[in-house]
Amino acid sequence: MANSLIGKLVADKYRVERLIRESDSGDLYEGRHEISGAPATLRIFPQALAMDSRGSERFLEQARKSAAIDHPNILQTTDFGTDSRGIVYAVHEPFSLTTVADLKKGGGEIGQVRALDITRQVAAVATVAHARGSIHARLTPREIFVDATPDGDQVKVLGFGADSIWVPQDADQKYLAPEQQSEFAIADERSDIYSLGLILSEMLTGDTTVESLDAKNAELNPKILPILASATDRSREDRYQTMADFLKDLERVLAKVGGKKAAAAHAGIWKTAAVVFIGIAFLGGVLIYGTMGKKTDPTTELIADVESLPVQPISGATGIQEDTLVKMVGDVESGLMDNTNMAVPPGTLPGGDGYNAWSGSGAPPIGAPAPLAGEMLPQVAIPGGQTVTIDPTRPSQFMPQEGGVILVPIPSNSAPESSTAPATKAGATVGTIPSATPKQMATPAPRPNRSDRTAKPTPAPKPTTVVPNEN
């Protein structure tokens, strides 16, 4: 079934050339870009399983997570998707097709230095993937590709970004963690640690059981045994809790047993860190010396420009605005002083006009409030001038007697006709003013009816003038 795609074009740009292996998680092919001719590694989800949309979505999600991981030890994902024919695919960089499983074929063993170095590279990329929330969940020797170079082995891992609760039917149960083989299977970061520990044990002894290490105890470094025991504990609470801790111990042991090349690689990291630290310290010292040696004292070194001019306004100063403000303040202050009672001399009557309403009889007029008990009436000198005395026994021309008429102003349109009374001579007795009889209002004429309005008035006959005849 998988061979049916050989020679076919996927996504109209990748030509399938050779089947590498079949798997429920994706068949692996060698391929080539149709236009550029560049080699590529194709992973295609089996068409029989693609009938279930959940499987296709799981495959594409894993490809998406894998493409987000940037590390030299991961098989980079360069493209993925679904083509027009419904083929679900992912494209990876071309790489050596030799896996760790191929290195063990024939029961051969891998030396401890090489095994530790391969495991270290897998742990390095797993640390980065776990930090991004991606796990492998089914790490096996078939997922680890090794390219032997003059500078050492270059490792690439395929399959990061898998579902934590899904286990393929063709998964190798031998490398699965105990929690993945239970009824409610679920994987996490510690499951990858368990699988990688078993792979290291198999590379060292040819067997995945840690107990087999006892027979190789004389040949292996004693530091390796506690590392493997902690990585492959059946209880995940007793294992390494992070892949970073596992990686740290692997690097420490590899530096001791790896010979000159491994020791140089391990020491090179510290040398690089030391050079960087020394460089930062030197740069910091230069900056501190530069700032300390060039201090300036503004009071002694800053010299004013003798030819400088003060900032001038756009228009020349006239003083008009300032003078106006001063006058306004003076007016306000004088008005306040005029309205205050603090500077009123004693004996001054309120109101400021000198009029004494109680002068004459010495008693307050009718309606004025009586003075309080013991209160002295103010004595104010009456200003000189003409004095007019009104006889209280005679009626005032301004106050008519009882029964008289009080003149009240009324609107001009209804004012009654009045006769001008002759002026009274001096010393004459003012008589009683007769009562005025109100004028009768004319009764309005009745309004004509509608029939009267429509009837036209008959014009009066014109008078005829008779001219006498001269004859």
Q: 266 φ, ψ to 5°? A: -70, -40
Quick one: which H or E segment has residue 144? strand 144-149
CB 364 within 8 A of CB 371: yes
CATH T-level fold of 100-268: Transferase(Phosphotransferase); domain 1 (1.10.510)
Instruction: Compute the distance between CA of residue 339 and CA of residue 345 in angstroms, rounded to an integer.
Output: 14
DSSP code of residue 386: -
Residues 6 or more apart whose Cβ sits within 8 Å of residue 288: none
Q: How far apart are CA 333 and CA 344, in angstroms?
A: 17
Report mean pLDDT in 10-residue bins for the chain, 471 residues.
86 94 91 95 91 90 94 95 94 92 74 93 96 93 92 93 84 90 88 95 78 61 89 94 96 81 51 65 73 56 66 67 75 61 55 56 61 60 65 64 61 54 47 51 55 53 52 45
How far is Cα 9 from Cα 32, in angstroms, rounded to an integer? 10
- The residues pairing with 29 across neighbouring beta strands, listed in sequence order, are 19, 42
Tokens standing for residue 233: 């504990």
Q: What pLDDT is attached to residue 25?
A: 87
Residue with tokens 């419904």: 86
Residue 326: the pLDDT is: 74
Distance CA(141)–CA(154), nearest Å, equals 15
What pLDDT is recorded for position 16?
A: 95
Predicted confidence at residue 360, as pLDDT, reads: 55
- For residues 68 and 217, what is the distance between their CA atoms, to the nearest angstrom? 41
Report which secondary-structure segment, H or E, holds 147.
strand 144-149
Tokens standing for 8? 């076919």
Predicted pLDDT of residue 419: 47
Query: Are 227 and 210 contacting, i.e. CB atoms less than 8 angstroms apart?
Result: no
Residue 113: the pLDDT is 92
Instruction: Specify the pTM.
Output: 0.56
3-state secondary structure of 89: strand
The two domains 8-92 and 100-268 share their CATH topology (first three levels equal): no
Q: So what's the pLDDT on residue 351? A: 53
Tell me the domain boundaries of the chain: 8-92, 100-268
Alpha-carbon 376 to chain mean position: 80
CATH T-level assignment (fold) for domain 8-92 = Phosphorylase Kinase; domain 1 (3.30.200)
